[in-house]
Amino acid sequence: MVKRNEIEITNTEIRHKKLPRSFDGYRIVQVSDLHDSQFGEGQKDLLDKIRKAAPDMIALTGDFIGEKDSDWRKMLRFMNELPAIAPCFYITGNHEYRLSEEDLKNFLKGIEDCGVCVLGNRTVRVQRDEEDIQIVGVDDPAKVGEGHRPMDENQMRKELREADFDREQFNLLLTHRPELLNIYAEEGADVVLCGHSHGGQLRLPLIGAFYVPSQGWFPKYDCGLFEEKGTKMYISRGLGCSVVQFRWNCPPELAVVTLRNIV
């Protein structure tokens, strides 16, 4: 068993031929599925690790809330520290929708007030040396249904099309759920960062996760790097716990993803 506060920093390179050359080496720190967990007083340990990774961008891929009575204001104090490190982009997970409608509205506004870009089915461009890439973010479909039901393919297609990104230019998609890689590929996503799976939290040697929410037993998409039809997807194991409040053979993860151009 690993301790819940022992964060593993993983380093992954993702190469893509559409990535502009000026973004070669672009470093992204992905923070996912915190679920109210604490890593040092005021998240000091987690913040120190994020700073040490020296990111060009921070991707916040959902489930920062634990339960409906979570103290979301405490999470805002953590997010308030992040924009001083690097530009930050946030999307919702299913647990955010356990908040009341009013609390969720105030939480999302609070995130924006911290200087974090909240991507609600929209696209923004990031520029470097007169070249740019698209950061695409979609809301979690839990906002239109139950949090752990299988994801509705039509709902995800609708959200991706609402985000209105240019399929001809490089795009980085932030989405909470990993199980619809085929949809992301069909809709033209180039690189995808997601969470939700927790890596299963309990992993068997040589087998991996034996259960993941929304996928069930022995899931296909548990953690790490996957590819389909040229779309590359990285699934973070996340930092916190949900339902079962411990991890086994599956330490909390702070993912560092470096984008590389294929010359």
Q: How many domains does the chain have?
A: 1
In a domain, residue 99? The reply is: yes
96 versus 86: the higher-pLDDT residue is 86
What distance, in Å, lies between the first and last C-alpha atoms of the chain? Answer: 42
Residue 23: DSSP 8-state? G
Per DSSP bridges, beta strands 216-217 and 122-128 are unpaired
Range of the domain at 105: 8-261
Take residue 118 and report the two structure tokens written for it: 């909240």
Do the Cβ atoms of 89 and 57 come closer than 8 Å? Answer: yes
- Structure tokens of 226? 């996957």
**Are the beta carbons of 177 and 235 closer than 8 angstroms?**
no
Q: Looking at residue 158, which CATH number applies to its domain?
A: 3.60.21.10
**pLDDT tens digits, one per residue of 102-118:** 999 999 999 999 999 99
- pTM here is 0.90
CA 150 to chain CA centroid, Å, is: 18
Q: Of the spans 120-124, 142-146, 223-227, 234-238, which averages the highest pLDDT?
A: 120-124
In a domain, residue 79? The reply is yes
**Residue 184 included in any domain:** yes
pLDDT band at 16 (very low <50, low <70, confident <90, very high): very high
In this predicted structure, the answer to whether residue 153 has a pLDDT above a threshold of 60 is yes
257 falls within a domain: yes
Asked if residue 33 is part of any domain, the answer here is yes
